[in-house]
């Protein structure tokens, strides 16, 4: 009997317990205690039952999924996280607000990049596109990297049969599908961008789109609040909209340029969206890992 139980234990892989929450905002003084070790709390860090959030001279806001709440811990307290409740030294230690639970399937910084290098785009793309794959909005926002010396960009959107749907010409590198045009229906499209300078056009860069409208997720988060941006990015990624999730992670990375975890997440998101040039751009930014 003992032998059979031992063999079963060897055959069944060990599984980490599911997280109960995630850090949404913290000061540099805030720490997470797990067992006997303490680490500084960072945006997007996952929290587990048994963890302690120690604010010290700072404050922390975190998502706690067992109770579907966003909790803010005041200065100078220790919050103990259990499987069903978060507890402070007294009722005033925590401010509680109802919130939808959205946790990433993989913790920031824990992404596997083992096979990414072999998927890099070939050649030297003239324009890097940041929108591709499955999109939640019937009026997507098209974004690409600026190209030095370009006087005008020309964007064209076609349907699955190559029939023109919409065109834009101008100097902007971010442009939304206009309200004056009929909303895009669910289906497959392709967009192309040409960079024009001195009467010459670059080679076209293009990416496929699959419009799959989600009316809730397609509404942009009109804020620079990192917590709101992280939650929407997580919701989009979990729902299968990697390029739109990457847009929020790019903004978060702009706020935290030294946080390599955000760049690693962008590598994976652009790979999943089929945007190889954008993926390579992030790999080059990441450097030796």
**Statement to judge: residues 183 and 215 lie in one domain:** yes
Query: Which region among 139-143, 196-200, 231-235 has the lowest average model confidence (pLDDT)?
Result: 196-200
**Mean pLDDT for the chain overall:** 90
**Statement to judge: residues 157 and 265 lie in one domain:** yes
Is position 5 within any domain? no
Is position 170 within any domain? yes
**Statement to judge: residues 163 and 204 lie in one domain:** yes
- Asked whether residue 171 carries a pLDDT value surpassing 60, the answer given is yes
pLDDT given at position 224: 87
Local confidence band at 289 (pLDDT 50, 70, 90 cut-offs): low
Separation between Cα atoms, residue 217 and residue 252, nearest integer Å: 18
Q: Cα 31 from chain centroid? A: 24
**Statement to judge: residues 138 and 238 lie in one domain:** yes
φ and ψ of 112, to 5 deg: -90, 120
**Statement to judge: residues 175 and 262 lie in one domain:** yes
Domain that residue 41 falls in = 10-98
**Statement to judge: residues 131 and 255 lie in one domain:** yes
* 232 CB neighbour count, 10 Å cutoff: 20
pLDDT given at position 196: 86
Q: Which residues contact 77 (CB under 8 A, 6 or more apart)?
A: 54, 55, 88, 89, 93
- Asked whether residue 114 carries a pLDDT value surpassing 90, the answer given is no
pLDDT above 90 coverage of the chain, percent: 78
**Statement to judge: residues 76 and 180 lie in one domain:** no
pLDDT given at position 126: 72
φ and ψ of 200, to 5 deg: -115, 145
pTM for the whole structure: 0.89
pLDDT given at position 220: 87
**Statement to judge: residues 207 and 86 lie in one domain:** no
pLDDT given at position 156: 96
Q: What average pLDDT does range 80-100 have in this prediction?
A: 96
**Contact criterion met (CB below 8 Å) for 71 and 95:** yes
Q: Provide the strand spans (E) within 120-204.
A: 133-135, 141-143, 152-159, 164-170, 174-176, 187-197, 200-201
Q: And the tokens for 190?
A: 């392709």
Q: What is the pLDDT of residues 231-254, one digit of tens each?
A: 999 999 999 999 999 999 999 999
Is position 276 within any domain? yes
The CATH number covering residue 186 comes to 2.60.40.10
**Statement to judge: residues 47 and 144 lie in one domain:** no
**Contact criterion met (CB below 8 Å) for 227 and 71:** no
Separation between Cα atoms, residue 264 and residue 246, nearest integer Å: 11
**Contact criterion met (CB below 8 Å) for 34 and 59:** no
**Statement to judge: residues 279 and 145 lie in one domain:** yes
* 20 CB neighbour count, 10 Å cutoff: 25
* 263 CB neighbour count, 10 Å cutoff: 21
pLDDT above 70 coverage of the chain, percent: 90
Q: Which of 67, 98, 129 delimits the end of a domain?
A: 98
**How many domains is the chain partitioned into structurally?**
2
- Asked whether residue 8 carries a pLDDT value surpassing 50, the answer given is no
């Amino acid at each position: 009997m003992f032998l059979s139980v031992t063999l079963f234990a060897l055959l069944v892989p060990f599984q980490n317990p599911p997280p109960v929450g995630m850090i949404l905002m913290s000061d540099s003084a805030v720490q997470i205690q797990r067992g006997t070790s303490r680490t500084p709390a960072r945006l997007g860090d996952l929290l587990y039952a048994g963890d302690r959030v120690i604010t010290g001279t700072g404050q922390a806001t975190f998502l706690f999924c067992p109770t579907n709440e966003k909790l803010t811990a005041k200065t100078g307290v220790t919050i103990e996280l259990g499987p069903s409740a978060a507890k402070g030294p007294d009722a005033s230690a925590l401010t509680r607000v109802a919130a939808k639970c959205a946790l990433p399937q993989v913790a920031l910084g824990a992404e596997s990049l083992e096979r990414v290098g072999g998927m890099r785009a070939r050649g030297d793309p003239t324009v890097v596109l940041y929108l591709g794959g499955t999109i939640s909005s019937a009026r997507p926002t098209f974004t690409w990297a600026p190209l030095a010396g370009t006087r005008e960009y020309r964007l064209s959107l076609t349907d699955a049969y190559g029939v023109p749907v919409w065109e834009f010409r101008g100097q902007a590198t971010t442009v939304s599908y206009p309200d004056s045009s009929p909303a895009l229906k669910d289906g497959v499209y392709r967009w192309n961008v040409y960079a024009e300078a001195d009467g010459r056009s670059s080679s076209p860069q293009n990416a496929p789109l699959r419009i799959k409208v989600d009316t809730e997720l397609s509404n942009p988060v009109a804020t620079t609040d990192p917590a709101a941006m992280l939650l929407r990015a997580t919701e989009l990624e979990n729902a299968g909209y990697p390029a739109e999730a990457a847009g929020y992670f790019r903004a978060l990375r702009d706020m935290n340029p030294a946080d390599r975890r955000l760049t690693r997440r962008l590598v994976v998101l652009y790979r999943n969206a089929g945007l190889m040039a954008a993926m390579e751009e992030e790999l080059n930014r990441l450097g030796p890992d």
